[in-house]
Amino acid sequence: MTIRTTGRQPAAHAFGREVIATLSLGWPIALTQIGQIAMLTTDLALIGRLGDVALAGAALGHIVLFAGYMLGLGLAAAVAPLAAQAVGARKPRMVRRAARVGLWAITMVGIPLTIALLYAAPVLVLLGQPPDASAYAGYYLAGMAWSLIPAWAFIVLRNMMAALGRPQPALWIMLAAIPLNGLLAFVLIFGWGPLPAFGITGAGIATSIVNIAMCVAGFLVTARMRPYRKYHLFGRIWRPDWPLLARLFRLGVPITGAFMLEYGLFAGAGLMAGAIGKSALAAHQIALQVASILFMVPMGLSQAATVRVGHALGRGDLADARRAGFAALLVAGVFMAVFGLATVALRGVIPAVFLDVAASANAETVALAAVLLIIGASFAIADGMQAVGAGALRGLGDTRVPMQHAAVSFWVIGFPVAWVLCFPAGLGAAGIWSGLTAGLVLYAVLLVWRFERLTRAEHMGRLPGVAASRTTDETDRPAGTLPLQSAISKNRRPSEAAAT
């Protein structure tokens, strides 16, 4: 693979075009992510009408489900760099193979995890959780567990769509799913006509039905709509592809590891906040919910960075790979800075969305939430930068070292600093958030530094994505298509060449 180190366009003009391309690709993915939060919020609002024990059970159920969900999310996420690099290298069969092994991998992991979720309630009791809330969590997961594999499958298909530069159908499917989920959840929770009320189990069943429907819709789109149908995703889908499956696991397992390390940090922060008291925990949840909503935008930009960097790496263009990553970082930094400052300005108003600020019983929570939202401004910028930095590195095929950076940033720095500031230093929840911010800032710096270092000319030959493209045999290239160097010399757009 020959690496180009210079572009043909003036640097400023090329960077501006890359920013526009990143925004065009990232906004549908970001809105899709926000749609998932909207579905979760709808479920919790309806379950809350069943009482506080049911709501506590749903919260426990979400913790268990999300832990299982994260175990397969890295494998689904690994489809994006594989498919994007294949698009850039003009290897359409590799696009299909990447999506296909992604579906195989999430099914292999998902079957035992789904069964395990059905038996989570006794485990929760053994871990010291209240028996009544644990029982409700079991009822919820009895309906919810079946959503795991379809949810991952939809992400695999969404990543394939994004790699081809056409993520919009996934957004359309999500927009249709939001009202469907709300309607089904209401009917199955409370009953309607001849349908009995299933209570909290009905909420889980509704979520599973909607996720299955989204998965089916994704399959239909990729099978019948242009340009996806040209890739014949379901052609010989039953045939194993062990070498590429192994490569997917090599990419995906470290991604899962990084996700779990980050998830563990925030779970630990929640436990520390709960140890302080109810007001601290409530304020922590308010600030974290705001941060989670804002985080959906850099999550979309992160996936856009994976695709854009992967395209450039696939076609052997060092200048474009570097430019794509830094364009996404700039967009994420500006967005999170603007909305971080807006959060600070509205720190006295935001808590009113979650509780009655006029009630004297909530005064301590409101005041503390305002403090955490101020700290959350720098937290948000670092969070956005680390998300996009990780996505850009995934586009290069680099996932193992970022996982190591996550371990150091979150558990050598972030958690210890949060604990020291919270308890020995006596700063409480503000200390927790200061520690979280310290960990995220370090992680962002390490990821951006690594991306800058790896996209220097002297390091490109050692990139995992470059090495993998060198070892991919020519049988991945359909008869009549051009080898990589010939395709590069033709200077066609990746999406056009990959569809030939």
**pLDDT tens, 350-359?**
888 776 777 7
Q: Is residue 350 part of a domain?
A: yes
State residue 140's pLDDT score: 95
Domain identity same for 263 and 234: no
pLDDT tens-digit readout, 191-244:
988 889 999 999 999 999 999 999 999 999 999 998 898 988 887 778 888 999
Q: What is the pLDDT of residue 464?
A: 59
Q: Is residue 7 pLDDT above 60, yes or no?
A: no
Q: What pTM was computed for the model?
A: 0.85
- Asked, for residue 249, whether it belongs to a domain, the answer is no
Buried b (16+ CB within 10 A) or exposed e, 342-353: ebbeebeebbee
Asked whether 137 and 121 are in contact (CB, 8 A), the reply is: yes
Owning domain of residue 149 = 26-240
- Per-residue pLDDT tens for 436-451? 999 999 999 999 999 9
- Which one has a higher pLDDT value, 111 or 483? 111
The answer to whether residues 162 and 309 touch, using CB atoms and an 8 Å cutoff, is no
Question: Between 488 and 154, whose confidence is greater?
Answer: 154
Residue 182 lies in a domain: yes
Residues 288 and 434 both lie in one domain: yes
Model confidence pLDDT, tens digit, residues 22-79: 999 999 998 988 888 888 878 878 888 888 788 888 888 888 898 899 999 999 999 9
Interacting residues of 455 by C-beta distance below 8 A, sequence separation 6+: 318, 321, 322, 325, 396
Together in a domain, 416 and 278:
yes
Q: Which one, of 330, 259, 302, lies nearest residue 388 by Cα?
A: 302
Residue 10 placed within a domain: no
Tens of pLDDT, residues 387-433: 999 999 999 999 999 999 999 999 999 999 999 999 999 999 999 99
Residues 6 or more apart in contact with residue 341 via CB below 8 angstroms? 377
Q: What is the pLDDT of residue 413?
A: 97
Per the prediction, the chain carries an average pLDDT of: 86
pLDDT at 491: 35
Residue 10 pLDDT more than 70?
no
Angle at 355 between CA 427 and CA 372, to 5 degrees: 25
d(CA 237, CA 246): 17
Same domain, 47 and 121: yes
The verdict on residue 5 lying in a domain is no
- Residue 161 and residue 189 share a domain: yes
Residues 114-131: tens digit of each pLDDT: 999 999 999 988 878 888
Confidence of residue 476 (pLDDT cuts 50, 70, 90): very low
| CB hemisphere CA count around 102 (13 angstroms) | 32
Alpha-carbon distance of 137 to 56, in angstroms, equals: 8
Determine the pLDDT at residue 485. Answer: 32
Q: What is the per-residue pLDDT for 459?
A: 58
Residues 161 and 106 in one domain: yes
Report the C-alpha gap between 402 and 257 in whole angstroms: 10
Final residue of a domain: which of 208, 240, 272?
Answer: 240
Q: Is residue 146 part of a domain?
A: yes
275 shares a domain with 225: no
Which of 215, 240, 265 is the last residue in one of the domains?
240
> Which DSSP string do the residues of 80-131 spell out, in sequence order?
HHHHHHHHHTT-HHHHHHHHHHHHHHHHHHHHHHHHHHTTHHHHHHHTT--H
Does residue 288 share a domain with residue 149? no
Q: What pLDDT, on the 0 to 100 scale, is given for residue 108?
A: 95
For residues 110 and 200, state if they share a domain.
yes
Give domain status of residue 457, yes or no. yes
How many CB atoms within 10 Å of residue 19? 18
**Which amino acid appears at position 260 of this protein?**
M
Burial 97-107 (b: 16+ CB within 10 A, else e): bbbbbbbbbbe
Judged against a pLDDT cut of 70, whether residue 457 lies above it is answered with no
| Backbone region of residue 472 per phi and psi (left: phi > 0; alpha: psi in -120 to 50; beta: other values) | beta
Given pLDDT bands bounded at 50, 70 and 90, which one contains residue 4? low
Residue 61 in any domain: the answer is yes
Specify whether 219 is located in the same domain as 272: no
Co-location of 46 and 138 in the same domain = yes
pLDDT tens-digit map of 261-293: 999 999 889 889 888 887 888 888 888 888 888
Q: In the chain, how many domains are there?
A: 2
The answer to whether 65 touches 468, Cβ cutoff 8 Å, is no
Residue listed under structure tokens 């929840």: 429
Is 60 exceeded by the pLDDT of residue 497? no
Based on the fold, state whether residues 119 and 235 are members of the same structural domain. yes
